[in-house]
C-alpha cells in the first residue's frame, strides 16, 4: 500500500512539473543575473544552503542526489556551503537563519517556498509538485 502511495506522489510530481514547464514556456519572464537566476533549462531551482560539516546537511545529500538523478530536466539543484568563503554570500543574499535551509525558485526566478532544517524527500516532492 505504501508503494502505491509513493507511485501516486511521483506521478503527481511529474504531472505538476510538466505543468510548470508549460507555464514557463508560455511566460515571458526576464533573465536576471545573480544567485536567483536560472542557468539551465530547469523550470524550478532547488537551493540547499548548508555545510558539508553539518550533520543535518549531510542527511540532506541523498535527497538532493535523488532529485538531481530523477528530475534533472525539470529541477536544477544547487548546494552552497555557507560556512565556506565561496558560499557565505549566498547565506547573506537569502537571509538564512539556520542550516540547512532549502529555497525553491519558480520558473520566474522568484522564491515560492522556504524550509529550515532537514527536509524529507516526500515533503520536497510535494513542494515541487505545487510549483
* CB neighbourhood size of 73 (10 A): 12
In CATH, which superfamily holds the domain spanning 2-129?
Glutaredoxin (3.40.30.10)
- In tens, the pLDDT along 4-42 reads 444 444 444 444 444 444 443 333 333 333 455 545 566
**Peptide bond before 100: cis, by omega within 30 degrees of 0?**
yes
Domain boundaries, the chain: 2-129
- In tens, the pLDDT along 83-122 reads 999 999 999 999 999 999 999 999 999 999 999 999 999 9
Give this prediction's pTM: 0.71
Amino acid at each position: 500500500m505504501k508503494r502505491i502511495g509513493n507511485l501516486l506522489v511521483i506521478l503527481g510530481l511529474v504531472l505538476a512539473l510538466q505543468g510548470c514547464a508549460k507555464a514557463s514556456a508560455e511566460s515571458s519572464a526576464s533573465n536576471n543575473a545573480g544567485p536567483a537566476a536560472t542557468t539551465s533549462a530547469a523550470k524550478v531551482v532547488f537551493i540547499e544552503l548548508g555545510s558539508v560539516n553539518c550533520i543535518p546537511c549531510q542527511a540532506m545529500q541523498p535527497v538532493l542526489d535523488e532529485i538531481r538523478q530523477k528530475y534533472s530536466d525539470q529541477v536544477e539543484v544547487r548546494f552552497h556551503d555557507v560556512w565556506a568563503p565561496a558560499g557565505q554570500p549566498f547565506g547573506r543574499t537569502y537571509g538564512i537563519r539556520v542550516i540547512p535551509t532549502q529555497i525553491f525558485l519558480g520558473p520566474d526566478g522568484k522564491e515560492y517556498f522556504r524550509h529550515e532544517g532537514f527536509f524529507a524527500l516526500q515533503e520536497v516532492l510535494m513542494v515541487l509538485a505545487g510549483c
